[in-house]
Structure 1
Amino acid sequence: MDVRQAITDRIIAMLEKGGNVFRERWTRAASHGMPRNGKTGAPYHGANVLLLWDAAIEHGYASNVWLTYKQAASMGAQVRRGERAVLCAHFERKAMRGQNDAGIEANGNSESHGEGEGDASDRGNDGRSGVLLCMPFWLFNVAQIDGLPEPTTDEVYERKAWGDRSPIEGAMRFIGGCKANIQHGYLRAAYSPSADRILMPDVDRFTSPEAYCATALHELVHWTGNEKRLNRTFGERFGDAAYAFEELVAELGCAFVLGHIGLVDATIEGHAAYLDSWLQVLRNDRTAIFTAARHAGEAYEFILARELPSPSPSAAPDANALRGAE
């Protein structure tokens, strides 16, 4: 099986349904959080997130918790007869012939659920050379499995509860925590790499606070790609399509952030249509979606790591002290 091509074809089929359709499907699925493994609790990454989100909406699953067949069996549960799994990809680096394989040989564990990398390069990020293998594995949603312990579906691995905090507050904590240079008063939202600043229309020009936050987060993903931060560059590989490819990274990265905070009904305003360019890139390069999803995941993690903390209750002024100051 050509796993890269099979998954790329799935993503292309999603995009061909149109921008409004795939965005709505992804955001509806994202309202249940990022997909997680029901045994380990670890989140899935990259293109696997898109595949699992789409499957959840396609089949009406209420949960974003997934297991392999063997994992379900190890928990005393059973996948129902006739249920179909979702094909996902796991990347592992295998040593080339004659090379010291210690710690490099692929372990063949199809229950792993990292997406790793999307580039079939000869050298990994750690400097080790070898062949990057794209290995398939298959996942079932907990709704397809009988006999699972209740905490697996109801308590342990669902999306982080925000309690009394609204998704808008969550968005503002990320926007504020990144400390990006954001300037208002412009006709449309954009990120200027040369000036390293985000340009935004005034808040009252947006249709809703949710639309403002979603648009700002989209531009914030672009901001993470600056050479001072994640240093994303695609010109050598994608040529004239590099700008559109960066927009695909921002599209995916923003979807990951919005899903994390539950801001799922927002519209990114003033956003140009790059759908045809994305489709052209994906049809010409079977590894492109993995590259885009990997960079989007890195941007997502970069933003999440800078979330402003919750105000401490002890930081609030005491009511009696305020009265004494009057």
Structure 2
Amino acid sequence: MDVRQVVTDRIIAMLEKGAGVFRERWTRAAARGVPRNGKTGAPYRGANVLLLWEAAIEAGYASNVWLTYRQAQSLGAQVRGGERGVLCAHFERRAREHLDDADDVLSEGGVDEAPLTARSGARAGVLLCRPFWLFNLAQIEGLPLEVVDRGVTSPAASQGPVERAMRLLGGCHATIRHGFDRAAYLPTLDEIRLPWPRQFTSAEALCATALHELVHWTGHPERLNRSFGRRFGDAAYAFEELVAELGSAFLLGHCGLVDATVEGHAAYVDAWLKVLRADRTAIFMAARLAEEAFAYIVAREMPALGEAAMD
């Protein structure tokens, strides 16, 4: 099985539903939290997050907590008959001592890193991508109570979604200027430009649009230094928009802005589909970069008023 291709095909199918559909679904799923393992508590990463979010929304699961079949058995539980798991991707990096060492890995859908490291002088390796399957807590019977409790969504924070978004924006200290005809981030000036607040349809839409541009802002050389070189060519701009799309979905879910829309942005879906169809590794890169941007922004979130007073 070429796991990368299978996962890429599934993401493509999501995007083909249309921007309005996948944005709403991913953001609503994100409001339930990052998917995590019910036994270890560890969060899932990268493209696996998108796959699990989509599966949770499609099936109507109440939680974003998942287990492998064996983990369920180890807890004295059992996946119900007829239930289907969600295929996810696990990456392993192996050292490559000899030229022929990569052959078996490449036959399993792995990537030979020698061409990527030849110029840098770094030691070449092989990146192996293996499949594994996850089941939601709702698909499993006989789970211990403490595991079931992990799947119960905690009550919403006392702070509203708009306030939380403003704390993210304020904590990053990005230069934001209003009074322009459209929203944009200008790397040369390192500033975010937005229309006047009254021009947005709602405060939620203003926050959603500003957070989208804030993801672009993280890519500046003085921050995460996000660049794609010649890999995507003319599609590099569209690929950066895909990173911002995913990053802002993470942020909107984090804030609880589940019904907000990013205003003033053209649809890049066709360009994203072109990139993903040509490169089966692109979605993994985009998801990883989006996660990095999300983590960078959340780490700078201003404390709530009550939390600041307690400090």
Q: Letter of the 2:269 partner, please give it.
A: L
Would the alpha carbon gap of residues 21 and 36 (structure 1) be closer, same or farther in structure 2, given more than 3 Å must change? Answer: same
Aligned residue pairs, count = 297
The residue aligned with 2:24 is 24
Q: How does 1:182-201 map to 2 (within 5 A)?
A: 182-201=176-195
The residue aligned with 1:180 is 174
The residue aligned with 2:302 is 308
TM-score by length of 2: 0.90
Q: Letter of the 2:24 partner, please give it.
A: E
Ranges in structure 2 where 5+ consecutive residues have no aligned partner? 100-109
Q: Is the 8 A contact 2:137 2:151 kept in 1?
A: no
Is residue 149 of structure 2 the alignment partner of residue 149 of structure 1? no
Would the alpha carbon gap of residues 189 and 30 (structure 1) be closer, same or farther in structure 2, given more than 3 Å must change? Answer: same
Q: Is the 8 A contact 1:65 1:158 kept in 2?
A: no
Q: Is the 8 A contact 1:218 1:251 kept in 2?
A: yes
Q: Distance in 1 between matches of 2:206 and 2:111?
A: 34
Is residue 115 of structure 2 the alignment partner of residue 138 of structure 1? no
Is residue 121 of structure 2 the alignment partner of residue 129 of structure 1? no
The residue aligned with 2:258 is 264
Q: Letter of the 2:219 partner, please give it.
A: G
TM-score by length of 1: 0.86
Is residue 196 of structure 2 the alignment partner of residue 202 of structure 1? yes
**What CA RMSD, in Å, does the superposition of the two structures yield over aligned residues?**
2.2
Q: Distance in 1 between matches of 2:160 and 2:45?
A: 25
Q: Calculate percent identity across the aligned residue pairs.
A: 68
Would the alpha carbon gap of residues 79 and 309 (structure 1) be closer, same or farther in structure 2, given more than 3 Å must change? Answer: same
**Which sits farther off after the overlay, 26-35 or 62-71?**
26-35
Q: Distance in 1 between matches of 2:210 and 2:146?
A: 36
Q: Is the 8 A contact 1:34 1:64 kept in 2?
A: yes
Q: Distance in 1 between matches of 2:10 and 2:306?
A: 46
More helix by share: 2
The residue aligned with 2:230 is 236
The residue aligned with 2:68 is 68
Q: Is the 8 A contact 1:65 1:157 kept in 2?
A: yes
**Which sits farther off after the overlay, 159-168 or 24-33?**
159-168
Q: Distance in 2 between matches of 1:212 and 1:296?
A: 20
Q: Distance in 1 between matches of 2:80 and 2:169?
A: 44
Q: Is the 8 A contact 1:39 1:71 kept in 2?
A: yes
Q: Is the 8 A contact 2:48 2:89 kept in 1?
A: yes
Would the alpha carbon gap of residues 184 and 42 (structure 1) be closer, same or farther in structure 2, given more than 3 Å must change? Answer: same
1:81-118 CA-partner distances (Å, limit 9, x unpaired): 1100000011110111359xxxxxxxxxxxxxxxxxx9
Q: Distance in 2 between matches of 1:119 and 1:255?
A: 29
Q: Distance in 1 between matches of 2:52 and 2:302?
A: 29
Would the alpha carbon gap of residues 66 and 207 (structure 1) be closer, same or farther in structure 2, given more than 3 Å must change? Answer: same
Q: Distance in 2 between matches of 1:277 and 1:286?
A: 15
Would the alpha carbon gap of residues 194 and 158 (structure 1) be closer, same or farther in structure 2, given more than 3 Å must change? Answer: farther
Is residue 48 of structure 2 the alignment partner of residue 53 of structure 1? no
Q: Distance in 2 between matches of 1:313 and 1:232?
A: 33
Q: Distance in 1 between matches of 2:21 and 2:306?
A: 41
Deviation at 1:243, TM superposition (A): 0.2
Would the alpha carbon gap of residues 163 and 28 (structure 1) be closer, same or farther in structure 2, given more than 3 Å must change? Answer: closer
Q: Is the 8 A contact 2:212 2:245 kept in 1?
A: yes
Q: Letter of the 1:293 partner, please give it.
A: A
Ranges in structure 1 where 5+ consecutive residues have no aligned partner? 100-117, 317-326
